[in-house]
Structure 1
Amino acid sequence: MRLVTLEDVHAAAATIAPHVVHTPLLSFDSGLWIKPECLQPIGAFKQRGAVNALSRIPSEDRARGVVAYSSGNHAQAVAHAASLLGMTAAIVVPSNTPQMKIDATRAWGAEVFVVGITERESRAAELVEERGATLIPPFDHPDVIAGQGTIGLEICADLPDVATVLVPVSGGGLIAGVATAVKSLRPNVRVIGVEPELAADAAASFAAGSLVRWDAHDRARTIADGLRAEPSELTFAHIREYVDDIVTVTEDEIRAAVKEIARRTRVVSETSGAVPVAAYLNRSLPAGPAVAVVSGGNIEPALFASLVNP
């Protein structure tokens, strides 16, 4: 299995530069900076991987469009990237996807199919077969991983003395890319994944040294709706190679972190994006400057209001 390289990540950075935001580092407190990927055009880091992957589709295949499956942010990212690059997009989302993410995906011009929470991959495969389209998976693709890795390039450039990088973990594409970039540039920096306790399959896999599968309905219990996927063989290979640890946080810690991010930085974070900050606030971490990747800000307004004004 070929792993993504630093050269792949640098190539992705050049490809996506016209279409993504080089997000700043914002001070949370004296020891932590946050990287607010909620500032991307679609409100989440997924913009990076989607633009890179779609840009690399051969011209002769673009007319047949793309298909993706997603719990929400990848859906929006592929829809937006397709609109930028003049392609059609069909997106399959599970029925527990927040309505605002479905509405945003349709607003970018994509056709959206809502299915049961265990059916999104099979329905996407059917659409690919029917249309001859190109499948753009949410994490299990080297071009997607390389695109997400550009976050790591930016962290190393903007905070050269960073000691720890905290990254949410779901399907593993984000941490696979970030860890590849960070460890290739700064081998001594610790890269730590963070998961909800209620969807801690990656943490269990990391401890076991091989993939441990959790039932989709169990993973769906967490409020962090963007962290309900599970790593693939490809993303877990990167995790084994480059990640130092994976820790978990509770649902109450996630809720409190959303409020603290808003209070201290004036940034709106979705629950999935808040898990690295929850780990910083509640777990013992290595000394030195840390960066938490706040992966997105696409949260239902009513939920956000309930978390910041309980």
Structure 2
Amino acid sequence: MIGISEIEAAAGRIAGHVVRTPTAPSPGLSALLGVPVTVKLELLQRTGSFKARGATAKLLSLDAAQRAAGVVAVSGGNHGIALAVMAAALDVKATVVMPASAPARSVEIAGAAGASVRLTDGMAEAFATAERLREEGLTLVHPFDDPVVIAGQGTVGLELARDADELTDVLVSVGGGGLIAGVAAALRALRPGVRVWGVETAGAEAMSRALAAGGPVPVELSSVVTTLSAPSVSRLTYDHVAALVEEVLVVSDREAVRGCLELAEHAKVWTEPAAGCLLPAARRVRDRVGPDARIGLVVCGGNATVADVLDWAERFGVR
């Protein structure tokens, strides 16, 4: 299990390389939900998502031989962008393997940053390709199955714990589980009374299926939210969520897209569906906890184009 000492060490390591993003009350979301809401704005992070933290922590942990050989990552979008950009900043050669379903903008940004981008038919094939490259000598920067990466993502929770006013419940999106594992570890140490809730979209339910099965299981992916679409969680992230997280809630793609539009209107931030899914889940948490709820939302990223969100809104009939 990742402890607060590892997270604090990661915070010291990545300071100066990443942004200490704002933690702020949201009057608009508070009015919308009827309870106080605080947002942690990771969409303002370098590369547009929290992923810069874990990628930077891992890159800075490499020895000279590993740096010289280069790194490889699998990504549905944001992890690939983060690794490409941060590797370029640290003068490390990067290869990013993405499924063909990854957003075109993510592929473009990773390539423009100087990474070698390889596209595969699906996420399972992407992981297999990355494993072959690891066997050839590249260092794998896993998006979630790595304690160094999880500690880096946990710095989100470290900052939230130190910067937020009183909170009762914090909601975190779940793909492979690296972000929620790190955030939950930090909050358990610094805000032990706060409940942590995970949020997935239907068709990207790797963690909720794992919790039901008692361990990681492969899942079929069908959600439009590619940045949450891990083919399975890892034992490492599963163990953290099973021990530290209240529950993982599942919302529909339609609800996640509607959440994007509501966040734009009421919070004045432009997010991707991986963050939009937090809002419908927050309504459920509010209804369970009652009027005394004090909700924190980790707004994980904003790497969706206007055209993407409007296309999804039209597809799902969201106004």
Q: TM range, normalised to the smaller chain?
A: over 0.9
Name segments (4+ residues, structure 1) moved above 3 Å: 305-310
2:226 — aligned with what?
225
1:119 — aligned with what?
125
Alpha-carbon distance, 1:201 to partner:
3.0
1:58 — aligned with what?
63
Counterparts of 2:308 and 2:138, CA distance in 1: 36
User: Alignment partner of 1:67: what SS?
Assistant: strand
- Summarize the alignment of residues 105-144 of structure 1 with structure 2, pairs less than 5 Å apart: 105-117=110-122, 118-130=124-136, 132-144=137-149
1:24 — aligned with what?
22
2:279 — aligned with what?
277
TM-score with structure 2 length normalisation?
A: 0.91
Contiguous gaps of at least 5 residues in structure 1:
none
Percent identity, aligned pairs only? 38
1:74 — aligned with what?
79
Contiguous gaps of at least 5 residues in structure 2:
none
1:249 — aligned with what?
251
Q: For 2:303, which of 294, 298, 304 is the aligned residue?
A: 298
Counterparts of 1:7 and 1:129, CA distance in 2: 31
Cα pair 2:215 2:235 within 8 Å, conserved: no
User: 25-34 or 242-251, which moves further after superposition?
Assistant: 25-34
Cα pair 2:210 2:233 within 8 Å, conserved: no
Q: For 2:12, which of 5, 11, 14 is the aligned residue?
A: 14
2:238 — aligned with what?
236
Matched, 1:47 2:48: no
Aligned residue identity for 1:222: S
User: Alignment partner of 2:296: what SS?
Assistant: strand
Deviations 1:94-118 (A, max 9, x none): 1100100000111111000001102
RMSD (CA atoms):
1.6
2:201 — aligned with what?
196
Alpha-carbon distance, 1:204 to partner:
2.6
Counterparts of 1:140 and 1:210, CA distance in 2: 14
User: Alignment partner of 1:293: what SS?
Assistant: strand
Counterparts of 1:247 and 1:206, CA distance in 2: 11
Alpha-carbon distance, 1:282 to partner:
4.5
TM-score with structure 1 length normalisation?
A: 0.93
